[in-house]
Chain A
């Protein structure tokens, strides 16, 4: 048996096909990694081009602030220009840039209102305003971002205590919601100070804003303030979609919280770690084409070229010969996966470097409802395991169809079509399902990708689940394999 498998492998590795596919794979990976490297290096653009500023200035000149219809527009334009002028002193990713845009802008606006719109002057105390403005500029110069964080924290705490006082007077959901939101803000501000996270435009600040947004949305949902308006189109599914969305939000909150607390950049995409985590998203088609070509030709080509006679007049039963061929296919699938990852690894180390590999992979596990960290290798292993059923089934389709028709191209075409159109097929099935045609949910494309279920995730469609998918995959697999064996056993070697 092992001898037969060895022979099959000798045959495959003496054909050009496999090498052509490996070269294509190599070229794709190289291109992708180079693009990753280059595209993230090019981020040094300036946000405001001189042309843009010139345009704003000329626009401003055309406006007359003495005209009461134009004064509002004049003020906002002038504010924008003043802001840009200040911001251009600092790097676009600096915390100063952020503060000018988010805090100082309102002071500039008020000052401009005072300056150009005398009618509104009463509401503004110019002395205080200028003092505060100057103070902020000073802190900006000094580089003390903590001042702003502390101030924000102070404000939030004040607001919180006033809300809590209000709550004593009359209880309302709205107040509870506001209190919860403020608590979240206070939490992020405390973390910012504790973990030394200046304002700015990096992954930590992204995580903070992601956390705030997701947490607020979650609160809105819990307090029934959130509308699911746009999910109404599939009436039956909207309950499930709510669940999906809730899962997504929970995951976002947990992951961004993890980033804020550990300061580990687990979301970055411009490194080797991300490349390896997403092997299958990027290169799955290449693996599929490679294994389908081989499994679609391993039997039928021998029939077409007549070499099957060489094999069948040997002291092995036909079942053994076919089994050897199928085991060879499994080995080739593993070979394809391993060579893909080795290529990614080698090219990635050369081009992107190794520094990202130490960062653990962090996922939200819905089975235990908490964050789970694991090494990159373990994640890749789990990911591969979840993808294997898909690859084995697609190869089995090619194997089955090509043996049935003794035709290599039909087998390859059907397997590839099935794989590539599975998204469309699944959409059609879900539409049919909503129209009460329910048996289609047993179609194989619904079930073969187990990455849907990784770490307790809910699948895209409500009517499938993990046990069903496991059973369906096994049934489809057994069906095709048994038929293939029966056909092969009974096949007559026709006269040419």
Chain B
């Protein structure tokens, strides 16, 4: 267990009469990549804004690197890098000028660091163009560049893949992986798309209607849902097999059927099929995706 970098405790937020967040709590430790998942309007961005001190906290605490954001804002925020909502940059400046502005704010950042960061996010060729000429993906990368310029130990990204094409999403994911490895940053990344983060995060936190419904390690979640394993059989007639089998099964289409059995029982199933003069072409373990796991856990579609 590393040391705790970000700790949210019982965050509550009301806007008007509407309760936006109810007792939101989670923790990020050194080296964690936390996927903060929830449908649109669940309170992801609001949570991030509370963490960054952009909105007032009604009750609860945010502790970053041991400092309370409400009491000691400057100290708490010092080692945080963030992009909130869109990467809003100064469009009339070039990418480089944007980074110079951020450099000026911090004491320990010099021009070498700017060059280093530009290389890291891969903007060497376009850094002297005006930001207004950038594509969304490039803006997103420049946004990450300005967020990591001062070597924060936690990076908070609000839907960094929103609006990007699959290629762009892949690029950002690669970049973040690199950052987590090279710069040793903890990352909080929010998204409404669980599948996107599945292979990338080591922790998941799911928020729905302002409440945390799940917070866990990915492997644990998957394990906890794998009580009954299943296999997909490719056969000549799924319907006939369905009639003959005693085990719990589920027809996918004419030639595919999902059968819920333990590994040890597969030979028996095959024997059974064989005895009924039916044919099996392939057998494949049906891996449970993170999304499916959560569908089961939360009993509903988390992607609105």
What is the interface of chain A, defined by CB distance below 8 A to chain B? 3-4, 6-7, 10-11, 14-16, 305-307, 309-310, 312-317, 490, 492-493, 495-496
Q: Which residues of B sit under 8 angstroms from A315, Cβ to Cβ?
A: 73-75, 77-78, 105-106
Nearest chain A CB to B62 CB, angstrom units: 13
Some 21 contacts from A to B, beta carbons below 8 A apart, are A3-B104, A6-B104, A7-B101, A10-B97, A11-B90, A14-B90, A14-B93, A15-B92, A16-B92, A307-B90, A309-B52, A309-B84, A310-B89, A310-B146, A313-B54, A314-B77, A314-B106, A316-B105, A492-B54, A493-B84, A495-B49
Hey, which bits of chain B sit against chain A, CB under 8 A? 45-46, 49, 52-56, 73-75, 77-78, 80, 82, 84-86, 88-93, 97, 100-102, 104-106, 146
A375 to B85 Cα, complex, angstroms: 58
A6: nearest residue on chain B (CB-CB)?
A: B104
Q: What residues of B have a CB within 8 angstroms of the CB of A306 in the complex?
A: 85-86, 88
Residues of A close to B77: CB separation below 8 A? 313-315
CB of A4 within 8 A of CB of B105, answer yes
Which listed residue (A10, A316, A496) contacts B74, Cβ 8 A? Answer: A316
What are the residues of chain A within 8 A of B85 when measuring CB–CB?
Answer: 306, 309, 495-496
A493 vs B80: C-alpha distance when bound (angstroms): 18
Other-chain residue from B78, B91, B97, B105 in contact with A3 (beta carbon distance below 8 A): B105
Provide the bound-state CA to CA distance between A315 and B45, in Å.
21
* Docked-complex contact A10 and B101, CB < 8 angstroms: yes
A492 lies within 8 A of B88 (CB): no
Are the C-beta atoms of A312 and B54 separated by less than 8 Å? yes
Q: Are A310 and B102 in contact (CB under 8 A)?
A: yes
- Which residues on B sit within 8 Å (CB–CB) of A316? 74, 105
A496 to B54 CA separation, bound complex (whole angstroms): 13
Instruction: Using A10-B100, A312-B54, A493-B55 as known contacts, list a sample of 10 further A-B pairs with CB atoms less than 8 Å apart, ordered by residue number in A.
Output: A3-B104, A3-B105, A4-B105, A14-B92, A14-B93, A15-B92, A313-B77, A313-B82, A315-B73, A495-B85
In the complex, what residues of B have CB within 8 A of residue A314's CB?
77, 105-106
Chain A residues, CB < 8 A from B104? 3, 6-7, 10
| CB <8 Å contact, B89 and A307 | yes
B170 CB to nearest chain A CB (Å)? 26
A493/B100 in contact, CB under 8 A = no
Q: How far is the CA of A496 from the CA of B163 in the complex (A)?
A: 15
Q: A490-B56, A492-B54 are in contact. Are A313 and B105 (CB under 8 A)?
A: no
Tell me the nearest residue of chain A to B105, going by C-beta: A314
Chain A nearest CB from B28 CB (Å) reads 17
Q: How far is the CA of A306 from the CA of B92 in the complex (A)?
A: 14
Q: Contact at B97–A309, with CB atoms within 8 Å?
A: no
On chain B, the residues within 8 Å of A305 by CB distance are 88, 91
- Find chain A residues with CB under 8 A from B97 CB: 10, 14
